[in-house]
Structure 1
Amino acid sequence: MRRVAVSVAVSALAVSAAACGKAGDDKTSDSSSSGSGSKSIGLLLPDNVTARYEKFDKPYFEAKVKELCSDCTVSYANAAADPAKQAQQMSSMVTKGVKVIVISAQDSAAIKSSIASAVSKGVKVVAYDRLAQGPVSAYVSFDNVKVGELQGQALLDALGSKATPKANVVMINGDDADPNAAQFKEGAHKVLDGKVKIAYEQSGLWKDTVAAQKMSAAITQLGAKNIAGVYAANDGMAGGIANTLKGAGISNIPLTGQDAELAAIQRIVAGTQSATVYKAYKPEADNAAELAVNLLQGKDIKSLADTEVTSGSGDKVQAKLLTPVSVTVKNIKDTVVKDGLYTVAQICTADYAAACKKAGLQ
């Protein structure tokens, strides 16, 4: 998802930086003493502003690899939202002898030749979260059309009786370079079309700043009083949009998101975001690690990747698609809190104490 360029809490960035070092460096970092050799697995993540990647995906993946293969090492690199850097990072891993590379592509089409080159040298590649083009051996993600459907339905539910074919909805989609973005968009349109009017639709490139700019343009074009709700494809962009809405004096309109980021959960508690989509990071990372270790050890993966998808390059890929969950103020306790993603204390800081009490979290 990503998903995804996101506005995150400063504390989360600080924790990620302290735990993982400076993300996006050209050099790869090893989670063990050595990253080269026959038992080395590479992990390439797309950006360091999306909170989930270094705070959750990376440590979960590394821990599962260690559990399954105690003498395996994980080499890690972050592309810092730069497709060219990610291609160089993949080449570096191949050169140093990494045998399996798990990659969440910054640009699914641009990385195709790098994947083909790696595979030609005997490296196995697993597409993670985003379906990269080229001869990948497996793919782990969520049902991304379903994610869009959940977002669209959450928007309709929040609109209630205001959901009419004349109700103006603003859609801020993800980056077209990410194949997931098209699937989120497809799912959302499947639910929204005909029930509301998509009056303004643009890509926010997974960036909160771009999404904020697009929202400002939508307000100028449509008028502040003529917007019924906003579809934001992820929580980072929703954060930028929420700030723009506040600055324009617009309140009490539905706003969607995705990724169940802490800041988004807090906005949901406060009432400035209506819903997000929770894609449990641990099962996704665990499945990717298990696939990587099996491929490293020459084992069959069909029992792990039990379905098949077709990538943008036409390649048939064995896949594991997990089930996303919609999160509103009503089920925060039963989703992200129950799973241990966040504690009530993390959500209900001083600024949100009153709202948390009203929502029944405290």
Structure 2
Amino acid sequence: MRRNVRIAATGFVSIALATALAACGEAGGGDDEEEGGGGEQSGTIGLLLPDDVTTRYETFDRPFFEDKVTELCPDCTVEYSNASNDTNQQKQQFDALIAAGADVIVLDPVDASATASWVEDAAAEGVSVVAYDRLAEGPIDSYVSYDNERVGELQGQALLDALGEGADGARVVMINGSPTDPNAELFKNGAHSVLDESVEVVFEQDVEGWEGAIANQEMTAAIDSLGPDGFDAVYVANDGMAAGVVNALQAAGITGLPVGGQDAELAALQRIVAGDQTFTIFKAYKPEAEVAAEMAIRLLRGEELGDVAPDSVDSPTNDGVPSQLLDPIVVTVDNITDTVINEGYYTVEEICTEEYAQACQEAGIS
């Protein structure tokens, strides 16, 4: 009987989930219609996303992933949970999936350094693990993300471009991402590789959990320390934190400074249109989610990853992880239409609400 993709409750995975999953087969087994794998083999895929602070996960990653699994394997089941930025909760969700008989787990970790023993436990039970967006530690089977050092390079260059002739010797505040996220270190390294040749970093702070409220506090601390005229631009690792940074700048009466971000969130695009944020980085979520889904289905069926994992990356615990690294794009007010709108992520109506209608008209977004 055909089973539609079904979704587990967000948050702690309950005994009810374990019972439901167990009905789909033992760990690593699934509903194998053809002995030895391949063909139309179906099974259960767990999708574990890290937080509900960053809007992309619920708005894009999850539905794109579920839709692609349905397309590739109509009889497969997706069990989904969001960890709400809690590593212990994500560990419970991961363990519950193994105990209940999941075949593959797609994991975007809250804290990548905490996952090595989890993934080892999964491997011991014959459960494949795909690292999604963040490179989880442990013997993962494959990984899909963007070239995250390249993301940082693009952020740094976009900031220099926004500074223009004033870039040489400019004073920059850097609000970096969470130290538990390996991508944050790559973003920071990439940005420094571009910025350090031209600017002086006068204040720099990592932000635990990517929290916009904490970014606001750090930006306020930078303003208090440096004075309102003590810096010329602000590098911010993502858009959620950029909201907090912009609020801090506005509260201090500071306007007109270049402020960067990442993730092409709707609110960030509106800030870009309004002139409050200078740029963001667009990482098209659909191809990332679809690659993860295809990796999961191939692993479930015992097929070679082949062209779905043409790259190779090293983690702190494992070398040569089969991977696919996608290419990011800088988005400014000049190419919003050609990127996020034309790609179907947002409509003009969603961006150009009444509050931003005049700014959109002036920017030629219609």
TM-score, L = length of structure 1:
0.91
2:103 matched to 1:99? yes
Would you say the 8 A contact 1:158–1:254 is kept in 2? yes
1:256-287 residue CA offsets vs partner (Å, 9 max, x unmatched):
00000000000000000000000000000000
Structure 1 residue ranges without an equivalent (≥5): 1-18
2:74 matched to 1:87? no
More divergent stretch after superposition (285-294 vs 154-163): 154-163
Shift of 1:132: 0.3
Shift of 1:303: 1.6
Shift of 1:22: 6.5
Aligned residue type for 1:69 = C
2:76 to 60, 64, 72: 72
1:160-194 residue CA offsets vs partner (Å, 9 max, x unmatched):
111122x2100000011110001000110011002
Equivalent in the alignment of 2:177: 174
Structure 1 runs (4+) deviating above 3 angstroms are: 19-23, 25-30, 33-36
TM-score, L = length of structure 2:
0.90
| Length, aligned pairs only | 341
2:337 matched to 1:337? no
Equivalent in the alignment of 2:190: 187
Question: 1:109 aligns to what SS in structure 2?
Answer: helix
Shift of 1:21: 8.8
Say what the alpha-carbon RMSD is for the aligned residues. 1.6
Shift of 1:20: 7.7
Query: Aligned in 2, Cα 1:70/1:271: closer, same or farther, shift over 3 Å?
Result: same
2:220 matched to 1:216? yes
Aligned residue type for 2:184 = A
Equivalent in the alignment of 2:234: 230
Aligned residue type for 1:197 = E
Query: Aligned in 2, Cα 1:256/1:22: closer, same or farther, shift over 3 Å?
Result: farther
1:192-211 alignment runs, 5 A limit: 192-205=195-208, 206-211=210-215
Query: Aligned in 2, Cα 1:42/1:92: closer, same or farther, shift over 3 Å?
Result: same
Structure 2 residue ranges without an equivalent (≥5): 1-5, 31-42
Aligned residue type for 2:205 = Q
- Identity across the alignment (%): 53
1:313-352 alignment runs, 5 A limit: 313-352=317-356
Equivalent in the alignment of 2:164: 160
2:84 matched to 1:118? no
1:173-229 residue CA offsets vs partner (Å, 9 max, x unmatched):
001111000100011001100211100000122110111111011111111112100
Would you say the 8 A contact 2:135–2:182 is kept in 1? yes
Shift of 1:343: 0.1
Aligned residue type for 1:53 = Y
Equivalent in the alignment of 2:34: none
Within 2, Cα distance between the matches of 1:22 and 1:198? Answer: 44
Shift of 1:316: 2.4
More divergent stretch after superposition (299-308 vs 339-348): 299-308
Equivalent in the alignment of 2:11: 24
Would you say the 8 A contact 1:24–1:47 is kept in 2? no
1:297-324 residue CA offsets vs partner (Å, 9 max, x unmatched):
0000022100100012233200000000
Question: 1:202 aligns to what SS in structure 2?
Answer: strand
